[in-house]
Amino acid sequence: MNDSPIGVYDSGLGGLTVWRELRRLLPHESLLFLGDGKNCPYGARPREEICYLADEAVGRLVALGCKLIVVACNTATAAAIDFLRAKYASLPIVGMEPAVKPACLHTRSGVVGVLATERSLDGELFRRTAARYGRDVEIVTLPGRGFVELVESDLEDSPAAEACVRPLVEEMIGRGADQIVLGCTHYPFLRATIERIAAGHGVEIVDPSPAVARRVEQLLDQGALRAAPDAEPVLEFITFADEDYRLKLKRKAEAVDPLR
Residue ranges that bind ligand DGL, judged by CB under 6 A:
10-12, 14, 40-43, 73-75, 117, 120, 148, 184-186
H/E element, 35: strand 31-35
Nearer residue to ligand DGL within complex by CB, 29 or 97? 97
Radius of gyration of the chain (CA): 18
Smallest gap from residue 41 Cβ to ligand DGL (A): 3
Nearer residue to ligand DGL within complex by CB, 7 or 12? 12
Smallest gap from residue 43 Cβ to ligand DGL (A): 3
Strand positions, DSSP E, 131-193 = 138-143, 179-182
> Active-site residue among 40, 73, 104, 164?
73
The C-alpha atoms of residue 216 and residue 97 are separated, in whole angstroms, by: 13
Nearest to 102 by CA among 217, 204, 196: 204
Nearest to 181 by CA among 118, 99, 119: 99
The C-alpha atoms of residue 188 and residue 201 are separated, in whole angstroms, by: 19
Active site residue 73: yes
Smallest gap from residue 105 Cβ to ligand DGL (A): 22
Nearer residue to ligand DGL within complex by CB, 117 or 179? 117
Active site residue 40: no
Smallest gap from residue 181 Cβ to ligand DGL (A): 12
Within 8 A by CB and 6+ apart from 60, the residues are: 34, 238
Smallest gap from residue 77 Cβ to ligand DGL (A): 8
> Active-site residue among 40, 66, 164, 184?
184
Nearer residue to ligand DGL within complex by CB, 103 or 225? 103
Within the chain, what is the greatest distance between any pair of CA atoms? 51
Q: Residue length, the chain? A: 260
Nearer residue to ligand DGL within complex by CB, 46 or 202? 46
Nearest to 10 by CA among 194, 181, 188: 188
Dihedral over Cα of 228, 233, 234, 239: its sign: positive
Catalytic residues: 73, 184
